[in-house]
Amino acid sequence: MEDIIKENNYPNTCPYCWEKINPKKLAETKLNEWWGKETFEGIFTCNNKKCNRTFTTLYEHSFFPTYTIERNSNIIYHPKLKIFNEEIEKIFEKFCKIYNQSFIAEENQLEEIAWIWYRKAFEFLLKDYLIHNRENEEEKAEIISNTSLTYLINKYINNNKLKEIAEKCAWLWNDHWHYLVKHTEQDLEDLKNILDIIIHFIEMDLWFKKYSKIQKK
């Protein structure tokens, strides 16, 4: 039988070492067929000499409306997690943990679950950042107990640019939480990009506070 998985459909990244590769195909297996679509499993070996691991990739082979084969996904064994800078990891440990668990869900095509947990990561980042900047215990208690992120953003964030982007992040994520989604033009990647802006702003704020303490001798 002629091979279905051709070389131009081979995966170009190893799910173990995450290097760009030219893998060797060991085998392919048809898993199932349903309504003009076949699912195939390709077994490959990484050609990175420091890795040489064997991994599996899933493919969909369609007959209608045209004859196509698409690489669906690598089966993820060792997800490449997001690396945050040292200050973020030290101060916002819980956020980093939730973010990367969300990323693992996304990499395994569990996007609906990823949506929910990225939103939780955003809440932990925002609240821990606000708590980190406060000394008043009553204010800290309100930040911990209040469930309205928009209220906390408007009350406790003074920087207008951060306030604007954090508000967008909050209501866009809340919108996607509901059954009827109004902002369909924004997808998960957009929300992650907005979250990255907030992370970078917090990084800059932490660095500024650290180095602004330096006095001229």
The tens digit of pLDDT for each residue in 144-198 reads: 888 888 888 999 898 999 999 999 988 888 887 778 888 888 888 899 999 999 9
What's the total number of domains in the chain? 2
Residue type, 194: I
Give me the phi and psi of 121, to 5 degrees please.
Answer: -60, -45
Q: 124: domain range?
A: 86-211
pTM: 0.67
196/113 same-domain check:
yes
Is residue 29 one of the residues assigned to a domain?
Answer: yes
Q: What stretches of 22-159 show up as alpha helix (H) in DSSP?
A: 86-91, 93-107, 111-132, 137-145, 149-156
Is residue 60 one of the residues assigned to a domain?
Answer: yes
The string of pLDDT tens digits covering residues 187-204 is: 888 999 999 999 999 999
Is residue 168 one of the residues assigned to a domain?
Answer: yes
pLDDT (0 to 100) of residue 37: 73
For range 41-51, the mean pLDDT? 91
99/199 same-domain check:
yes
